[in-house]
Amino acid sequence: MTGEQGFVWRIRVYFEDTDSAGVVYHANYLKFMERARTEWLRMLGVGQGELSDTEGVQFVVREARLRLRQPARYDDELEIVSRMVLLRPMRMRFAQQVRCRGVLLVEGDVDVVCVDKMTFKPVGIPDKISTILRQQLSGDLLEDW
C-alpha cells in the first residue's frame, strides 16, 4: 500500500527473527527493510530478477544506517514504511521506518546503487526504470550526485 507516508509493507515477527529474549535481532531489521524496498519496486512494475535478466543491472546496498528506538518482539505485526527521498543517476536513498501499532521502533536510511551484474561497478539506472522512479519524487530531489 502506498500513501502520503510512503509504501507500507507488513510482516509478522517469527521466532527465527528473535534472540533468546524474544526480541528482534538488530540485523533482521535490515532484512525487513530490504523486503519492503523489493516489494515497493515490484508494486511499481520493476521486478529485480527481470531487471537483472533484461537490463544486466542490479540494485545493491551501498550504505545503511539504523537508529533503534524500541524493540519489536515475537509475534508483533510490523509495518515497514519506505520512502525514496533521493534519486540520482546511479543511486537512490530510502528513508525507512519500522512501526508496531503506530509506535516508531526503528528508523533507517539506506543508500542503494545500480551496478552492472557482471562487474559490480556502478552504472546508470536504466532510463525506463529511472522514469518510473522519478514519478515517485518531487523535482527538487533529482539533482546529479
Residues with catalytic annotation? 19
106: nearest Cα among 71, 60, 144: 71
Q: With residue 50 as reference, give the H or E element that holds it.
A: helix 48-50
Note every long-range contact of 135-140, with CB atoms under 8 Å and residues 24 or more positions apart, other chains counting.
136/44, 136/84, 136/87, 137/84, 137/85, 137/86, 137/87
